[in-house]
Each structure stands twice: as structure tokens, then as C-alpha cells.
């Protein structure tokens, strides 16, 4: 964790979910309708909500979630609505979103920018002490992606035996012919 402590002024620069989903940048609107629909339809497990409420109580009854999010990112579109809905459902939880990379200066104070995977969620207690971080996607989703990538790679390699090697040769020839 970073030794940098966000200030109330830093946090107040963040925007809420509605404003984030309405960003005028056209690239941000790629996932805006998906985010709004996901927020409206996302059903949160009541048992997990209760566990989060207990955790918030253990942290003094208030938790601020700071999200560095890129609206063009699929993981952001999938996960920011979930945390927004969570903050709506749980008393004492607030969400402030910072558009990445526009908020890169603030982000650089809490993490090495080259290590950023969006969304990056940083959880703070009522005194703005960092509780912890979460980024990008659930571990299970990463495992599914890795499994899918491995299957695709194997399928592509298998296809080399059935003609892709010849396609490579054709393209090599085209490069050489200019």
C-alpha cells in the first residue's frame, strides 16, 4: 500500500456513477448503456451485502471507495456498476470515480501508473486510511479468460497443421514481393 493519504479535497474531485456513465467523451459511451443496464439489473447477494455492512461497521461505519476507471474498458463496464450498486445498497459507503487516464496525476500518488489495471478500487475508512485495493476483475474471471486464451492458442496451433502454415508462406511471399 502507498504511504500517500488522500485528502477530502482529493476525494471531492471524484464523480458519481451517473456522471461517469454520462461522460461526453464518445469513447466513454461505448459501454455507457451497458453500465446503466448492469446497474439497474445487478442483483446483489443479500448474504454478501450483510457481510459488507458488517465490514463497514468494523471500519467506523463509513467506507469511501475510490475508483480509477476507464469507461472504454470492459472490466470497468462490468465492475463499476457492481460497486456503484453496492455503495447504493450499503449505508455508509460512498463511491468516487476518477476517469483514467485523465486523473493520472492523482493516480500516480497512490500507485505506479504503469501498473494500473482498470478499474482500480481503493477502499478507505472514515479517517481516509487505506483498507485495501481491488483491481480489474474477479479472480474467477481471470482464470476463465486464461483458460479461453489457452484453448484458442491450442486451436490456432492445431490449425497450422491444416493450412495456416501455408497462409504464413503466402504472406511471407507478399512481403517479399512488396
The pLDDT value recorded for residue 26 is 41
Q: Which of 6-15, 24-33, 82-91 has the lowest mean pLDDT?
A: 24-33
The pLDDT value recorded for residue 24 is 65
The pLDDT value recorded for residue 125 is 94
* Beta strands across the sheet bearing 120-125: 93-99, 63-69, 120-125, 130-135
Strands 93-99 and 63-69 come out as parallel
CATH architecture of 8-137: 3-Layer(aba) Sandwich (3.40)
Higher pLDDT, 135 or 124: 124
What residues form DSSP beta bridges with 123? 65, 132
Amino acid at each position: 500500500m502507498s504511504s500517500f493519504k488522500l485528502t477530502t479535497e482529493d476525494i471531492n474531485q471524484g464523480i458519481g456513477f451517473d456522471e461517469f456513465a454520462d461522460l461526453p467523451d464518445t469513447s466513454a459511451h461505448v459501454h455507457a448503456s451497458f453500465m446503466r443496464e448492469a446497474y439497474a439489473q445487478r442483483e446483489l447477494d443479500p448474504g454478501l451485502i450483510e457481510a459488507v455492512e458488517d465490514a463497514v461497521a468494523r471500519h467506523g461505519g463509513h467506507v469511501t471507495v475510490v475508483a480509477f476507471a476507464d469507461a472504454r474498458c470492459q472490466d470497468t463496464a462490468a465492475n463499476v456498476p457492481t460497486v456503484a450498486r453496492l455503495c447504493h445498497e450499503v449505508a455508509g459507503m460512498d463511491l468516487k470515480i476518477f476517469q483514467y487516464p485523465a486523473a493520472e496525476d492523482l493516480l500516480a500518488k497512490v500507485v505506479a501508473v504503469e501498473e494500473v489495471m482498470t478499474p482500480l478500487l481503493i477502499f478507505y475508512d472514515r479517517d481516509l486510511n487505506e483498507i485495501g485495493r481491488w483491481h480489474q476483475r474477479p479472480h474467477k474471471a481471470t482464470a476463465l479468460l486464461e483458460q479461453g486464451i489457452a484453448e484458442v492458442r491450442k486451436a490456432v496451433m492445431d490449425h497450422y497443421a491444416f493450412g495456416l502454415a501455408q497462409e504464413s508462406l503466402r504472406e511471407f511471399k507478399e512481403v517479399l514481393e512488396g
